[in-house]
Amino acid sequence: MAKNIHDDLEQMLKGLLANLPMLTCLVMSAIMALELRCGRLRELPSLLRFMLVSAMLYAGHYVFFLRAEAWLPLTDTLYVFANLAVYPLYLIYVTRLSVAHRSHGIYWLLAPAAVGALAVGVLYAFMPKAETHVFFDTYLYGNSLDGLQGAALWQACVHVACKVVFALIVVYVLVTAMRRLREYDKALEQYFADTEHMAMRSVRNVLVLVVVISCVSLVFNVVGRHSFADSTAALAIPSLLFTGLLFAFGYVGLHRTYSIVDLEKLRGEMRAESSNGASTPGGDAICQRILALFDEQKVFLRPNLKIDDVAAMAYTNRTYVYQVVNKQMGMSFAELVNRRRIAYAMQLMKDTPGISMTEVATASGYNSLSTFYRNYRLYDKDADHAAAL
């Protein structure tokens, strides 16, 4: 009696663990669908598609771990598609988040998913029931090719090929996503001194999640699902890990407030300013005004300083300030401001022994100690030369 109760509880726990990532994706998808009606985020449809396909992926996991063989041919076909499509869909989301001019060629990354699912589905359709059962026992749950023949052997080969393609896709998506977000970071720093308070924190968190999820996916792809099929404790590891990562991914995506759309809007406004035909002083005159603001008024100590603020104080427009800083001075707006802030902070520490680092960060124009430390590591070696900028 007690053994039966224990077995029933273990089966219930196993079902919950197998179902948890899928439920997380469905809940996040429902929230995104509600947000979509508000039209708040341009890239939300891409994020929603990613979550829905992820739900399909983990539905395949759920059926697999419960050994529901009657449903396996269908769910395994959908699983192959989702497994190969989920990372390309993620890259599409990142591209919409960070790239202004996009190419439809990125959608070709979904071709392996379509081809793989088609091959698996056709083979299942022509495999006799007995051969399908042998394939399940030998390959899906045994990770072996021994004794497989005919369509079952071909089915196993297709699954192996899909694993290899999956690994290649993950590496490509990881490298490309990192590069695109890095380029977005650099573009943002040309116009803003403090990027952490504009959703760049969200963008960086997405980048961290890409690295974590990609590494975990590669590990579990090599290990194989069969390793977790017979042990509830072993199943808990990937289930809880992916549930947490998927929830964090959805949360970060829903709370992003700034993207390439906003940056392009700013650039468009600046282009309109520069083409209105108004006369303006030469670059050297604007440069002298900017340096006077930094040297005499120490405007760099203002938190959340933007290129708009400096343009207004220099009695010119943002385009000319951008050109002087990024081209004539040869650095981004963020670098100009943060070099001055760190130089000021170092001098403050010399002049005021015993001052706390929190007070130094606040006095230097930073909203948080972590932001101060990050910029300190970047610019402390050059602080002695900051006043000459």
What's the gap between Cα 159 and its chain centre?
Answer: 28
**Of the ranges 90-94, 193-197, 378-382, which is most confident?**
90-94
Unique residue bearing structure tokens 């726990």: 13
pLDDT band at 71 (very low <50, low <70, confident <90, very high): very high
What is the token pair recorded at 73?
A: 């041919």
- Among 19-23, 80-84, 376-380, where is mean pLDDT lowest? 376-380
Cα 226 from Cα 318, distance rounded (Å): 59
Residue type, 169: I
Rounded (10°) angle between helices 150-189 and 72-98: 20
Cα 164 from Cα 183, distance rounded (Å): 29
Cα 290 from Cα 21, distance rounded (Å): 53
Nearest to 139 by CA among 33, 226, 21: 226
Mean pLDDT confidence for 311-322: 83
Nearest to 260 by CA among 88, 70, 96: 96
What is the token pair recorded at 357?
A: 């680092």
Q: Write the pLDDT tens digit of every residue in 222-266.
A: 666 656 656 677 777 778 888 888 888 888 888 776 777 777 776
pLDDT exceeds cutoff 90 at 332? no
User: Which of left, alpha, beta for 138 (phi over 0: left; psi -120 to 50: alpha)?
Assistant: alpha
Cα 151 from Cα 127, distance rounded (Å): 6
- Does the domain at 278-388 match CATH 3.60.10.10? Answer given as no
Report yes or no: 108 and 100 within 8 Å, Cβ to Cβ.
no
Q: H or E segment at 35?
A: helix 2-38
For residue 332, what is the DSSP state?
A: -
What is the token pair recorded at 180?
A: 């695109």
Domain locations along the chain: 2-260, 278-388
For residue 326, what is the DSSP state?
A: I
Q: Write the pLDDT tens digit of every residue in 271-312.
A: 766 666 554 556 678 888 888 888 888 988 888 888 888 888
pLDDT exceeds cutoff 90 at 85? yes
pLDDT band at 384 (very low <50, low <70, confident <90, very high): very low
Helices H / strands E in the chain, number of each:
15, 0
Rounded (10°) angle between helices 111-126 and 72-98: 180
Cα 56 from Cα 366, distance rounded (Å): 44
**Of the ranges 88-102, 114-128, 133-147, 336-350, which is most confident?**
114-128
Report yes or no: 165 and 116 within 8 Å, Cβ to Cβ.
yes
Unique residue bearing structure tokens 């508000």: 38
Cα 141 from Cα 177, distance rounded (Å): 34
Residues 104, 108, 109: CA angle, nearest 5 degrees: 115
- What is the structure's pLDDT at 76? 94
Exposure letters 228-242 (e unless 16+ CB within 10 A, then b): bbeebeebbebbeeb
Equal fold, 2-260 vs 278-388: no
pLDDT exceeds cutoff 60 at 185? yes
- Does the domain at 2-260 match CATH 1.20.1070? Answer given as yes
pTM score over 0.85: no
